[in-house]
Amino acid sequence: MSATVTTLDKPRPAERSRFKETWRNLRRSPSGMIGLTILVTHLVIAVISPLIVPYEPTDIDASILLQSPSWEHPFGTDSFGRDGLSRVLMGGRIALVITLTAGVLAITWGGLLGIVLGFLGGVVDEVVMRVVDAMLSFPSLFIYLLVISALGSSDVILILVLSITNGISIIRIARAATLGFVARDFIAAARARGERTATVVLRELLPNVFDVLLVEYAMRWSWMLLSFSSLSFLGFGVTPPTPDWGLMIAENRRRLAIAPWGSIFPMLALGTLVIGINLAADALAKAMGLDRSQEAPI
């Protein structure tokens, strides 16, 4: 039995060395390391910010309204006298938690469904892909707005809507990646052994398309951050007075002429985070030998 196996596809190198190789490639990319550094800094700040903020981000102080940056308040204060630095440090937490959660949900259901469809093929695959194509021809912002106008907005609703719309795009990616493997010998061997569909999908196909899904997760994450902060900016995301970058930019935008720091610092925070994710994801795709698809973030 072992003799026949060696004549089939080349066995994949062991997990550990593959991880090491990706990391070695990644370290050679300057833009990737810049992106990763920005990303890790943001994540660390998001985790420890409640411990390091100089003031309570929701504390109102009528004696220090709209103060320009100073030693006491390096990022100035807003029209309620709240400390800008504290609000910026805390302002990414909800966005990160919601988008990371929605991302995990989306990649799980979209990824698994995509692999199953690619593996099974047939009429079901045909029908589901037609529906997927119809949904993709439709800007997801409109789906968000339609659902919010019917149900209102809450964290749970946003997580669900983000994971559903993004999962639909992932089906396509996972299915396409799977199609590259279903005709290979090791899948034929698994079928010949009489493995159940679930086993083939989870043990044989999932490990092979995992790279593609990981890169897709990173890209989706940055697009979800864009969607979430846009919704937040439009007033459908986080409820005031909770600090959130999108909401802060919207709130302080009216005083852009007299207190521009209120918008500039959250803009810098949000901008560096999405650029950091994109740089890191691009470099990760290259390090894994994948060509990141130039897809529209709709």
Partner 1 sequence: MLRLVTRRLLLSVLTLFIVSLLVFAGVELLPGDLATAFLGREATPTRVASLRAELGLDRPATERYLNWLGNVVQGDLGMSLARRKPIGDLIGLRMRNTLLLGLTAGLIGLPLALVLGIVAGLTRDRRPDLWISTISLIFMTLPQFVTATFLILLFAITWPIFPAVTIVPPDSPITDFLPNIALPVATLVFVMVAHNLRMVRTNVIDVMTSEYVQMATLKGVPRARVVLRHALPNALLPTINLVALYIAWLVSGVVIIEQVFNYPGIGTLMIQAVHDRDIPLVQAIILVFAGAYVVLNMGADLLVTILDPRLRSMRG
> Which residues bind to partner 1, rule: CB under 8 A?
134-135, 137-143, 145-152, 222, 226, 229-230, 233-236, 246, 249-250, 253, 256-257, 260, 263-264, 267, 270-271, 274-275, 278, 294, 296-298
CB of 177 to partner 1, least distance (A): 20
Q: Which residue number, 105 or 135, has a Cβ lying nearer to partner 1?
A: 135
CB of 139 to partner 1, least distance (A): 4
Q: Token pair of 34, please? A: 């810049």
With left for phi above 0 and alpha for psi between -120 and 50, is residue 122 left, alpha or beta?
left
Q: Which residue number, 34 or 53, has a Cβ lying nearer to partner 1?
A: 34
CB atoms within 10 A of CB 121: 13
| In contact, 171 and 110? CB cutoff 8 Å | yes
Q: Token pair of 90, please? A: 């805390």
CB of 48 to partner 1, least distance (A): 25
Q: Which residue number, 235 or 241, has a Cβ lying nearer to partner 1?
A: 235
CB of 71 to partner 1, least distance (A): 24
Q: Which residue number, 13 or 271, has a Cβ lying nearer to partner 1?
A: 271
CB of 18 to partner 1, least distance (A): 28
CB of 28 to partner 1, least distance (A): 16
Exposure string (b/e) for 244-272, b if CB count within 10 Å is 16 or more? Answer: bbbbbbbbbeeeeeebebbbbbbbebbee
What is the distance between the alpha carbons of residues 87 and 49, in angstroms, rounded to a whole number?
10
Reduced 3-state DSSP string for 135-181: HHCCCHHHHHHHHHHHHCCCHHHHHHHHHHHHHHHHHHHHHHHHHHH
Q: List, in order, residues 6 or more apart from 64 with CB less than 8 Å away.
A: 73, 77, 81
Q: Which residue number, 205 or 270, has a Cβ lying nearer to partner 1?
A: 270
Q: Which residue number, 197 or 293, has a Cβ lying nearer to partner 1?
A: 293
Amino acid at 160: L
Q: Which residue number, 178 or 263, has a Cβ lying nearer to partner 1?
A: 263
Q: Which residue number, 119 or 233, has a Cβ lying nearer to partner 1?
A: 233
CB of 258 to partner 1, least distance (A): 9
CB of 185 to partner 1, least distance (A): 32
